[in-house]
Structure 1
Amino acid sequence: MKSSFADDVVDLLPNLRRYAFVLSRSLDVADDLVQQTCEKAFANRGSYARGTNLSAWLLRIMRNTWIDRVRRDRTRGESIDIADRPDAIFTDGARDTETHLMLGTVAHALQDLPEDQREIIVMICVEELSYKEAAATLGIPIGTVMSRLARARTNLASRLDLN
């Protein structure tokens, strides 16, 4: 009984998978490569000359498919699995833009504050110094730090319409 083209290809699947793994060094990529090879083989089965070495023909298709994939990947750049970048999974473009604009607005409002208020806001809120550390850095009493900070926060909130 004469075997069909499909049966002959199925019989060669283990060989194809082995060769695909040798090329790709990854089981997932190897499985994809075998599938692409089979798709191309069935799509172009009319160009296969019956009686010639089917294994060699399939391996040639696979090798050419692999070369095309490597070339495509080189021009595409590095591919990173999304599981390796948890910070990139849930990004909200609108929220990121809004945050960026708000930070710009705050930076401008901060620049408009008097120097003593701007200085104390940066030390306490940005540099996260304690009141005692800020007082020692500026050479002023802690009470002065607290009152400047209160005035700076009030002034900043009014400039940002947060009152």
Structure 2
Amino acid sequence: MTAAELSALLPAMLPRLWRFALRISGNRHDAEDLVQCACVRALERAHQLAPGTAPLSWLFSIVQSTWLNELRARNVRNGAGPEWDDRLMETIADPAAKSPEQHAMNGQIIRAVHRLPDAQRVVLLLVAVEGLSYSEAADVLQVPIGTVMSRLSRARQAIGSQFTEPEDEPRATGGADREKIGT
């Protein structure tokens, strides 16, 4: 693919790239810089886009690797990782939220996704939010498809465990039950 062909496709992909960058960086300024850097890299390397590869998946991969490089550079500079600002996600309107209860639940889900390890969060965002197939996500992250499936399963379990009802407290047992247990 040529840079001219890719530049014609970029405007349609920018909203999804920015949304993905915002979710992995957690910061509007970082997301803007990340998308800009990824687009420049993609245009400089448009000739490297393999035939049959979806340009959006390829760009997601560039965003992801650019972010990882930025995190490494920050860790080297000051030894601290990025901070997540939950208030940022609350500024993004959700047209599907129809009640305060739904809005509160959406906030809980966002916080639950934030608490996931980075590897699980990124896979969840690519598959569940961006709609990539397991195979496409594996290509973006340059990991085996089984790793994507495993990370996604663990992410779903971790989030699900935060929203399950607590087990009923154990009931007092009668004497017959104590004899079975041996106490």
* TM-score (normalised: structure 2): 0.40
Name the structure, 1 or 2, with higher relative contact order (CA <8 Å, separation 6+). Answer: 2
Structure richer in helix, relative to its length: 1
Greater C-alpha Rg: 1
* TM-score (normalised: structure 1): 0.44
